[in-house]
Amino acid sequence: MVPVNLSFLSILQDILRWVMESVLMPVIKDVFNILVELIGELIMAALSGILLEVWVILLKLIDFLEDIFSIFSGLTQLTINGKLSNQGIVQYLFGLGTVQKAFWMIMGISLVLCMVATIISVLRSMADSPFENKKPISAVLRTSLKCCLTFALLQFACLFAIQMITQVLLQVHYHLNSENSSSSLGDLLFYMLAQNRHKSGDLEAYKTGAKYANVSNVTENFDYMHFNWIIILVATVFMLGILLATIIGSIQRLFMLMILYIISPIFVAYMPLDEGKSFGQWRDTFVAYLVSGLSPIITMRLYMMFLPMLIDTKHKFSIAGLSNTEMIYVNLLFLIGGSFAIFSSRNLILKVINPALAGQLDGNSAMGSMLGKTAFGKGLKAVSMLKKG
């Protein structure tokens, strides 16, 4: 027989080991898992809350840029000295005293230049008279008379053309106005990306009125912690960059029109020397810049006409084999593609009227395009860092 050597300490160690492994460890593991999940949910809730605040700010910025686009396109009536006027931004800028003063100053200088150009043309004609006189003095005087008539009608013609194009833009805006015009781009973007996480409340109320701005109601009515934040932020930043680049193009068009208007008498003054070729190029450029404003306005109105089918039940379409979530992404692509079409159409009519000028503008608009690309790239970088974290 083998003697068994038992002690109190060894028995106590075995009992404690058994209690630790069989009783306490499972309890500790369960408590640890619960704490980790709880801390994870708290961190996710805090992070999602921050992302929701950021998204709401970006949506407000999109709606603000949409209003800015309407202003610089000449569709919004301005308030001057506290009173609502019937003028858009184009009429207001061209009616400023400083602009008119600069125009008349250039006009006075151009009259002197016209007299000098006429004298030079007469001297050339007299010098060529013994030889093959391709431009007799009578032709020079007819050109000078035409130059004087152009001086007299120049300002009236420019302002009349601006007023006419503005009225055409307003008519296009009103006749192509969508039936769901109360919905902004921010409303549509929020509704499409958040509708599949709706918990309670009236979902239809978020179609209009920027209801997304009330963050407390959004947190109550939507499961915001399970939003697809990568898709949301990338799509929102992309639309933000597209709208910003489009607005920069509209501002560029306004300044180009003002510059062409102010310096227009110089091209008229040169008519006795080149028989109006320089003035003809100025006229084509001025008309091209005026008409180029039609493209983004028409595209925007058509865009807002088709958007209701993305949110309204009676317009909504579906594709066989795609789930509701997949259809949301299809609608999102439609939304983003339409906004990019607005940006791309800024020189559409101009390319038909003056292709060379349109190509030049595409090159000069690189700053606006780079600004949109930079905003989009920074958004992607921020989202990727967020995903890694």
- Residues 82-105: pLDDT tens digits? 777 777 788 888 888 888 899 999
Burial of 29 (0-12, 13-18, 19+ CB in 10 A): exposed
Per-residue pLDDT of 181-206, as tens digits, reads 567 888 888 887 787 788 887 887 88
Q: Give SS3 for 81.
A: coil
**What token pair was written down for 327?**
């259809």
Q: Which residue has the higher pLDDT, 23 or 171?
A: 171
Banded pLDDT at 380 (limits 50, 70, 90) = very low
Look at residue 61 in the predicted model and tell me its pLDDT.
Answer: 92
Residue 306 confidence (pLDDT): 72
- How much helix, strand and coil, in percent to the nearest 5, is found in the chain? 80, 0, 20
Beta bridge partners of residue 83, listed in sequence order: 80
Residue 16 has pLDDT above 70, yes or no: no
Decide: residue 40, CB within 10 A, 0-12 exposed, 13-18 middle, 19+ buried. Answer: exposed
What pLDDT band is residue 291 in, cutting at 50, 70 and 90? confident
The Cα 361–Cα 356 span in angstroms is 9
Residue 28 has pLDDT above 80, yes or no: no
Asked if the model's pLDDT at residue 14 lies above 60, the reply is yes
Structural element, H or E, at residue 55: helix 25-72
Q: What integer pLDDT is reported at residue 361 of this predicted model?
A: 61
pLDDT tier at 49, thresholds 50, 70, 90? confident
What's this model's pTM, rounded to 2 decimal places?
A: 0.72
What does the pLDDT look like over 332-349, one tens digit per residue? 777 777 777 777 777 777
Answer whether 322's CB lies under 8 Å from 256's CB.
no
Which residues are 176's β-sheet partners?
A: none
| Residue 371 pLDDT | 40
Is the pLDDT at 366 greater than 60? The verdict is no
**Rounded-to-integer distance, Cα 157 and Cα 154, Å:** 5
Mean pLDDT, residues 146-174 taken together: 82
Residue-level pLDDT at 313: 54
207 pLDDT tier (thresholds 50, 70, 90): confident
* pLDDT for 372 beyond 50: no
Q: Where are the domains of the chain?
A: 54-388
